[in-house]
Amino acid sequence: MATPNPFPAGISKEQAFSMAQTEMEYRVELFNKLAQTCFSKCVDKRYKEAELNMGDNSCIDRCVSKYWQVNGMVGQLLSAGKPPM
C-alpha cells in the first residue's frame, strides 16, 4: 500500500517546504514586532524593578490583545481581496 501524499495536489515537496519556511519567517517577524511594540509602549525605559508590575502586565496584555485583533482583521480583509482601511 502506497503512503498518501501529505502535500496538496500540484505542490511539490520543495514548494511545500519553501512555503512553510516563508510562513515561519512571517510568524517570527510578527512576534518580534509585537514584542518590540508592546514592550516599548508599556515598559518604562529606566527599569525600576526586577519584575514587571501590575500596570506593565495589564498594558502588555491589552497591547497584545489589540495587536492580534488587528492582525486578524487585516488577514481577513486581505484574504477577501479587500485593501486594508
Residue with cell 506593565: 56
> What is the DSSP track for 26-59?
HHHHHHHHHHHHHHHHHS-SS--SSS--HHHHHH
pLDDT of residue 47: 78
CA distance linking residue 25 with residue 20, whole number of Å: 9
Specify the number of domains making up the chain.
1
| pTM (predicted TM-score) | 0.68
Please tell me which residue, 45 or 34, carries the higher pLDDT value: 34
In percent, how much of the chain has pLDDT > 70?
Answer: 85
Residue 39 within any structural domain of the chain: yes
pLDDT of residue 52: 86
Establish if 85 belongs to a structural domain. Answer: no
In a domain, 62, yes or no: yes
CATH number at residue 50: 1.10.287.810
| Confidence category of residue 31, pLDDT binned at 50, 70, 90 | very high
